[in-house]
Amino acid sequence: MTRKFLIDTDTASDDAVALVIALQAKDIDIECITVVAGNCNVKQAVQNALYTVELCGASVPVYEGEAGPLCREPFDAVHVHGEDGMGDIGLPLHGRTPAGGDAVAKIIETVHAHAGEIEIVTLGPLTNMARAVRQDPTIAAKVRQCTVMGGSPDGRGNVWPGSCFNIYADPEAARIVYHAGFKLRMVGWDISRKYAVVTKDEQERLRGLGTELAVFSHDIQKCVMNWTDNTTNLAGYDLPDPIAMAIAIDPSIATQTEHYYIDVETNSDLTRGQTVVDYNGTLGKKPNVELVIEASHEQFMAMLFAAVS
């Protein structure tokens, strides 16, 4: 049976690979892609999404959404992904026209149109989703599953000591979404760091496939490679959004999950955007998130290679 997805993204180099995986999945029908500011400005992120859809030979509508956080100054990650968000390798990321209409309104419309069926995958800050919930709180109960790439449940962040970019960029939005009543699955940056690092050997194999999608998926990581070599010190570039997408498509890739109450810190500068996991049930609150604890690197890489082959 074909499943219906809505993807919310701040399209940069890892988001684009996640889109490739979803667009190539045979049993996934992507109703629309909504775009939010995050890794780069929203208009650039829209162009990146449109380019990726076109490269995959797909016809999925892309909608422009929020240009900044709910109540903070914009915070981007061009120092990680490049000025164009796609590795600054010279791709023609301009001149394409998104679908008419607003992303937030489209999220609400799509959820109601496919109530109980639609699955949402968020790959960026949760600003669009929070705006949608504020406008129509009923949508949360009508979403079959919402998979969020975000958070650092082990306390190790990638842009701040304890915070992952997608939550740090708009913590107020994340807090709204985490408390909205979605059936929420969280794939934190810890999962990417442990199970979605593409090693040097795997990079050679990936690019060596020689297909347009394989070369694209590798080459747009150019700036991320510098970041991982000099900052996060991983054994290769990691792909947080793609492994979140892979788990959304095939939950068996998440080999261990647990349900916890998770909240988002919004008041402290030191721990801004930290996803606080109540592992011991100290707060006595009902779990609101299915947290991915472990995943299969082998299954993830198999899905990635299949998508670009």
- Structure tokens given for 85: 């968000």
Written as six digits, the tokens of 21 are 């995986």
pLDDT above 90: residue 241: yes
Tell me what pLDDT residue 227 has: 87
pLDDT tens by residue, 34-75? 999 999 999 999 999 999 999 999 999 999 999 999 999 999
Whole-Å CA distances, 134 to 105, 139, 141, 173? 11, 10, 14, 10
pTM for the whole structure: 0.97
How far apart are the C-alpha atoms of 139 and 283, rounded to whole Å? 27
Residue 85: domain span: 3-308
Number of domains comprising the chain: 1
Residue 167 identity: I
Token pair in block for residue 178: 């985490």
- 292: its two tokens: 């991915």
Exposed, middle or buried by CB within 10 Å (0-12, 13-18, 19+), for 239?
Answer: buried
* pLDDT for 232: 84
Question: Which pLDDT tens digit goes with each residue over 108-157?
Answer: 999 999 999 999 999 999 999 999 999 999 999 999 999 999 999 999 98
Residue 284: strand, helix, or coil: coil
User: What stretches of 42-170 show up as alpha helix (H) in DSSP?
Assistant: 42-55, 78-81, 103-113, 127-135, 165-168
Which CATH number is 13's domain given? 3.90.245.10
Q: What is the pLDDT of residue 182?
A: 98
pLDDT in tens, 163-208: 999 999 999 999 999 999 999 999 999 999 999 999 999 999 999 9
Half-sphere exposure of 211 (CA within 13 A, CB side): 15
pLDDT, position 228 = 87
Distance CA 50, CA 16 (A): 10
- Mean per-residue pLDDT for 274-298? 98
